[in-house]
Amino acid sequence: MPTKLSRYALITIVAAAVSHADASPRTKPKPVTRADIDRLEQKIAVQRKVIESLVRIQKEYAASLAALIADPNAVPANEPKEEPKQDAPKPDAPKPDAPKPLKQFKREPIEKPNGTVAGKVTGASDVYVYVDDLVATTATATATMKQEGKQFVPRVLVVQKGTRVDFPNRDAIFHNVFSVTPDSSFDLGSYPRGESRTVKMSRPGVINVYCNMHSQMVGYILVVPGSHYVRAGADGTFRLSVPAGHHRIVAWAPNAKPAVKEVDVGDDTVALDLELKQGAAPSHTKKDGLPYGSYKE
């Protein structure tokens, strides 16, 4: 549930549901059984759907209203727009598809001045630096991670939340792309050269991508919450444009524990050095949990 609004709605609803079901004060917490969890899970799922639907309607209403007040020619936020297809979003570049729709809510848009966070990340390669606490609206861009030469290309892909990632097969053989990352798992099945499958990256976090047929194929997708991210140079230096305010800056690299620091950004450059410790790639199994075996490719 992405917004504050929906969170509050969910809390209110569940509070009402529970108070209705059990009005007496709790004296001793009952042990929670699996059935309780299942029941609550079902309730949560139903409530979420209802709330999401209502939030969408309210947003559409608000957007239309704001558009009428601020700019009679504006497009409502949820109206589908044609987006240019791109291979990978350029880091630190303004994302025309992310925050724009919400701007239409504003009568008098106020742009906070942009500051800069610059520094160096040591201890790892393929490093990305991003702002963890700036959440943009869901992106509609697409990115691509190919299967080529029994490898994922690029091996590391960073996308904004909501980006659709294409997985085209460029090899002469079949591949089966999958991920078992909790909350972001998917299984694209077997498909040959020339075919592609797409996955929408809905949750921020790191998604490890594998092939069920070729154990050496490992890819990493970092889904960042917003549009403020940048790839560090080969020497680890980076320069990230960030709106003024207090922010959480994260440095990430494959197989390294992310380094997090909080900074106060004004309209000046803030110096920030971070250290990562990159380890070996963890072993992984097939999608069904079985080891690959040594050489059954």
Nearer to other proteins, 45 or 271 (CB): 45
- C-alpha separations of 148 from 77, 91, 178, 292 in Å: 38, 24, 16, 20
Helices 34-70 and 4-21: crossing angle, nearest 10°? 140
User: At closest approach, how far in Å is the CB of 139 from other proteins?
Assistant: 11
State how beta strands 218-224 and 156-160 pair: parallel
Q: Rounded to whole angstroms, how far apart are CA atoms 33 and 130?
A: 40
- Whichever of 83 and 148 has its CB closer to other proteins, that residue is 148
Give the shortest CB-149-to-other proteins separation in angstroms: 3
CB closer to other proteins out of 198 and 285: 285
Write down the least CB distance from residue 104 to other proteins, Å: 9
Q: From CA 267, how far away is CA 244, in angstroms rounded?
A: 6
**By C-beta, is 37 or 85 nearer to other proteins?**
37
The encoded tokens of residue 251 equal: 């440095």
Shortest separation between residue 181's beta carbon and other proteins, angstroms? 12
- The least CB distance from residue 262 to other proteins, in Å, is 15
In terms of CB distance, is 121 or 159 closer to other proteins?
159
Q: Which is nearer to other proteins, 183 or 235 (CB)?
A: 183
User: Can you read off the two tokens belonging to residue 116?
Assistant: 């800069």
Closer residue to other proteins, CB minimum distance, 10 or 88: 10
Q: How far is the CB of 164 from other proteins (least distance, A)?
A: 19
Q: Judge contact between 183 and 229, C-beta under 8 A.
A: no
3-state secondary structure of 204: coil
Q: What is the DSSP string of 99-131?
A: SHHHHTT-SS--PPPEEEEEEEEES-SS-EEEE
55 CB contacts (<8 Å, ≥6 apart)?
3, 5, 6, 9
Give the amino acid at 174.
Answer: F
Nearer to other proteins, 20 or 28 (CB): 20
Angle at 27 between CA 23 and CA 32, to 5 degrees: 85
Query: Cα(221)–Cα(152) distance, rounded to whole angstroms?
Result: 11
- Tokens 């690959």, residue located: 292
